[in-house]
A = this chain, B = another copy of it.
Amino acid sequence: MSQTAPSFIPARPFAPAERDAVYRAIHERRDMRHFSGGQVSDEALERLLQAAHHAPSVGFMQPWRFIRIRDRQRRRAIHALVEQERQATAQALGERADEFMRIKLEGILDCAELLAVALPPGRQAHIFGRRTMPEMDLASAACAIQNMWLAARAEGLGMGWVSVFDPAALGALLQLPEGSRPIALLCLGPVPGYYPQPMLAEAGWAKRLPLRDMCMDEVWQAG
């Protein structure tokens, strides 16, 4: 059967300085938890959200929704939810509980902008690329968040992705409809600086694994 014949724009590599800038954003992006208040301009926020919205999505379903939270009282309620789950995680961690409790997890009360990201209802109607892999909607939304993260780094802003919450409780607080699901609280805004390496590496929680341990040939290799 004949398939759509596309038109193309030329596949040329970026100029070296442009390419380096892309890698710089990738390598200097950090999951930030320290914020210094301030503001994100409307123009910068629009650029970041457009970056998110230009992520790839399975079957082009664009399964990302952004809720901008400016009400201080709602912010405090969200912070309380996160604090509750932080305590529950610490308890579940057992012997690493104290170490965990010393790590700063989020900047919900200090960041210039707080955004919740949710998957919309009605996703079951989309089976293109998802019939056997329904979780690809989350994967697409994660790509959108990663775009935003890299764009934030280029803008000199910081972003943090907080997933320390009970999704049902957060969904209720955000009045999400049946079938919708929160996947992220994004803390965004000016920061005092970026961590030289991931904060959990700085804090000694975990180390970056060697790339070679991530890579295999042909089939899975144990060890």
Q: Which residues A147-172 have CB closer than 8 A to chain B?
A: 147, 149-151, 153-158, 161-167
- CB contacts (< 8 Å) of A209 on chain B: these are 62
Known: A118-B220, A161-B56. A214 touches B49 (CB 8 A): yes
A65 to B150, CA, bound (A): 22
Contact present for A47 and B23 (CB under 8 Å)? yes
Nearest-neighbour CB distance to chain B for A88, whole angstroms, equals: 7
Contact present for B216 and A65 (CB under 8 Å)? yes
The chain B residue sitting closest to A53, CB to CB, is B211
Which of the residues B14, B143, B180 comes within 8 Å of A21, measured between beta carbons? B14
Contact present for A218 and B70 (CB under 8 Å)? yes
- CB contacts (< 8 Å) of A138 on chain B: these are 135, 138-139, 142
- CB contacts (< 8 Å) of A190 on chain B: these are 11
Contact present for B1 and A101 (CB under 8 Å)? yes
Contact present for B14 and A66 (CB under 8 Å)? no
A58 to B31, CA, bound (A): 10
